[in-house]
Amino acid sequence: MDVKRNLVTGSIAAVAIAAFGVTTVAGQRPAAPPAGIAKPWVMPRTGDGKPDLQGIWTNATLTPLERPQGQPNLVLTDAQAAAMENATAERRERLSQASDPNRPAPPQGGDGSTGAAGNVGGYNNFWLDPGERVAVIDGQKRSSLIIDPPDGRIPPITAEARARNQERMKARAGTGQYDHPEYRPLAERCLLSFGPTTPLVPNYFYNNNLQIVQTPDHVMILMEMVHDARIVRIGGKHVPPHIRPWMGDSIGHWEGDTLVVETTHFPLQQPFRGAAENLKVTERFRRVDANTINYRFTVEDPTTFAKPFTGEIPFNATNELIYEYACHEGNYALANVLSGARNEEKRKGTQK
């Protein structure tokens, strides 16, 4: 399709222009455009000459973080991508069909639903908004967000990390996962969302939106859930080692037209695949066209991962709004989970 090919060519051209790293306030001087392509895109800049990353973006995508088994290549064929996207669309269509108004209550003992639906069927599909397209970076349809290691998977964890995890499990032996609120996942406690937050990986459920506001000395990244605003201090220094805020401590600087953010000081209660104390996340934000920021992240923790890993996610501009996600204020669920466990123990006579 002509428009699509031109779009891809235009994107590559824009990337090439951006790669020159022109930073004059006046903007870049693009090469003469080849015939048939609209005027090349010029990087919008803020008043202090930096690339303008501001706006509302979505990182929703069908592409998973890790390469699925049986998919050796980073780049999907058009047919593979179309299959994924059509499957999602068809599923949504199918689940939008009317139900039988005479349907009975669901089966005793559970309805057999797996994963998040937890054998009780979860809720209707219309509440979800996981993403409709595969991730496209530099014209490539991606099979995984992770690009390095080349197999697209998180590297194995170190022996040291394995030992740490075993210690943690030993400490919890004999306890139940519903005994205390502190045993529940951070998202259920409304402390953070159910993605890692840093890096800005989508959660594959909903509300995969973020807002960026940029001043000369700060960049603010608001994730819709849980109204978490990360304020990056441009040219700043990290906080003292004993200060460990949720989402870590972020400082940033510009390398040409790329914003580079370094985050460390994660609290121990916020592990990313078991890494927290020595976790460092480096993020690179590069705007490549009117509608896209190419986001690249590297996760390193030599005490947890055998080697660092890197991923890429396109942030796509959206005209939609971010709404308040006041989680704790409406959190009936946590109380239900805990009181449910106590109630069930009484019923089954298993309380101690």
Q: Rule CB under 8 A: is residue 251 a binding residue for other proteins?
A: no
Site for other proteins in 319-338 (CB under 8 A): 319-338
Q: Which of 24, 36, 79, 115 binds other proteins (CB under 8 A)?
A: 115
**Residue 291 binding other proteins, by CB under 8 A:** yes
**174 binds other proteins per the rule CB under 8 A:** no
Binding other proteins by CB under 8 A: which of 9, 194, 238, 310? 194
DSSP codes of every residue in 68-100 = PTT---SBPPHHHHHHHHHHHHHHHHHHHSPPP
d(CA 312, CA 294): 7
In the list 148, 179, 262, 277, the residue contacting other proteins (rule: CB under 8 A) is 179
d(CA 260, CA 251): 8
Return the number of the residue (158 or 202) whose C-beta is nearest other proteins: 202
Q: How far is the CB of 278 from other proteins (least distance, A)?
A: 18
Residue range at the interface with other proteins (CB under 8 A); choices 28-36, 164-172, 176-184, 297-305: 176-184
**Closer residue to other proteins in complex, CB, 20/204:** 204
Select from 173, 182, 242, 349 the one that contacts other proteins (CB under 8 A): 182
User: Residue 44's beta-bridge partner residues?
Assistant: none
Q: What is the DSSP letter of 30?
A: P
Query: From the list 23, 147, 218, 280, which residue makes contact with other proteins (rule: CB under 8 A)?
Result: 218
* Token code pair at residue 143: 């099979």
Q: Does 217 bind other proteins (CB under 8 A)?
A: yes
Nearer to other proteins, 85 or 277 (CB): 85
**Cα angle, residue 196 at apex, residues 200 and 151 outer, rounded to 5°:** 75
Spatial separation of the C-alpha atoms in residues 1 and 245, rounded to whole Å: 49
Helix (H, G, I), strand (E, B) or coil at 67: coil
For other proteins, the closer CB: 20 or 71: 71
The CB-side HSE value for 74 (13 A sphere, CA atoms) comes to 18
Q: Which residues in the 11-40 window bind other proteins by CB under 8 A?
A: none
Residue 262 binds other proteins (CB under 8 A): no
Minimum separation from the CB atom of position 282 to other proteins (A): 18
Q: Which of 8, 140, 178, 282 binds other proteins (CB under 8 A)?
A: 178
Examine residue 261 and say whether the peptide bond preceding it is cis (omega within 30 degrees of 0): no
121 makes contact with other proteins (CB under 8 A) = yes
**Amino acid at the residue 27:** G
In the DSSP assignment, the letter for residue 126 is: G
Q: Rounded to an integer, what distance in angstroms lies between the CA atom of residue 60 and that of residue 208?
A: 5
